[in-house]
Structure 1
Amino acid sequence: MDQRVKVALVFFAMIIMVIVFFGFIFLVAIFSALNYSRSI
């Protein structure tokens, strides 16, 4: 039981890290696109 809960928590943490990572890249891409379109 304890081992399965630990594995589930690690898996959940990995999913959260991936979502945050791609969300950060998405925000940076939007910000750079807005900045680029503004400079034209």
Structure 2
Amino acid sequence: MEVNETPDAVLMRDTQNRELGHLSFAADEWTALLRSTTDHG
């Protein structure tokens, strides 16, 4: 996986299958995702 952060979004793609495209998350969505996987209490 390759992750690229821009001021407005976070882009992810599979480095072994680049032709499949990428996923794009708004910065606030990415932050919420990370918090949901690390906040356990």
The answer to whether TM tops 0.5 is no
- Identify the structure with bigger relative contact order (alpha carbons < 8 Å, sequence gap 6+): 2
The alignment's TM-score, normalised by the length of structure 2, stands at: 0.35
More helix by share: 1
More strand by share: 2
